[in-house]
Amino acid sequence: MDSASSDRTVPGQHLAPTVARSVKVLVVGAFGVGKTTLIGAVSEIDPLRTEERITTASVGIDPGQPNKETTTVAMDFGRITVTEDIALYLFGTPGQRRFWDLWAGLADGAVGALVMIDTRHLEDSFEVLDQLELRTKIPFAVVVNQFPDSPNYPLERVRAALDLLPETPIVECDARDRQSAVLTLITLVEHAMTFPVFQKVNA
């Protein structure tokens, strides 16, 4: 993140004057699953980071002793100017339940979420999927990030293990590869278009 601090005024990083609309997509997943890698692969600017201090209820603590702690959560993000008047922002955020307050606000108004999965640690993604399904109505697509030593499970086996709905898209991806990452976004937006909430035209 040194790139941001070394040049604070960054005139070249401004959006084109024609851009008058922004939309966002969330990139959620466990730590180390490749969120920032994917964002960096498609973003037209070096991924930026902001940090937010949030109060989280400690999990697994005696409920009779409500114990809240303050945590700093980093959010990495990037952007793509997809048309001359629309900028697409990708916000990466940890998906665990204790960060819910942070990403509930982020989910508001989002086109959808890419849920990144590492098949070597499938169980890490259960909580993220639970949160999305139980607490939001936003469209999501599951992205299996292929690491060199990932076991080669057929996607249908991963779908079954994650107990996904039949209509939820699941795609493989190399998060380092731009075209591969762009395809995950296309999959998500296509899926979002089937949702009634996006049917109306509000140009």
DSSP-assigned letters across all residues of 143-191: EEE--TT-----HHHHHHHHT--TTS-EEEE-TT-HHHHHHHHHHHHHH
Counting other chains too, the contacts that 50-54 makes at CB distance below 8 Å and 24 or more residues apart are: 50/74, 50/75, 50/77, 51/75, 52/102, 54/99, 54/101, 54/102
CB of 200: closest distance to another protein in angstroms? Answer: 5
In the bound state with another protein, the residue whose beta carbon lies nearer, of 107 and 158, is: 107
Of 28, 38, 39, 111, which lies in the binding site for another protein, with binding defined by CB under 8 A? 111
Nearest to 4 by CA among 88, 71, 74: 74
137 binds another protein (CB under 8 A): no
101 binds another protein (CB under 8 A): no
89 binds another protein (CB under 8 A): yes
Site string for another protein, 27-56 (x = CB under 8 A): ---------------x-----xxxxxx---
> Contact, 48 vs 114, CB < 8 A?
no
Contact residues for another protein (CB under 8 A)?
Answer: 4-5, 8-11, 13-17, 19-24, 42, 48-53, 72, 75, 77, 79-80, 82-83, 86-89, 91, 105-106, 108-109, 111, 178-179, 182, 185-186, 189-190, 192-193, 197-203
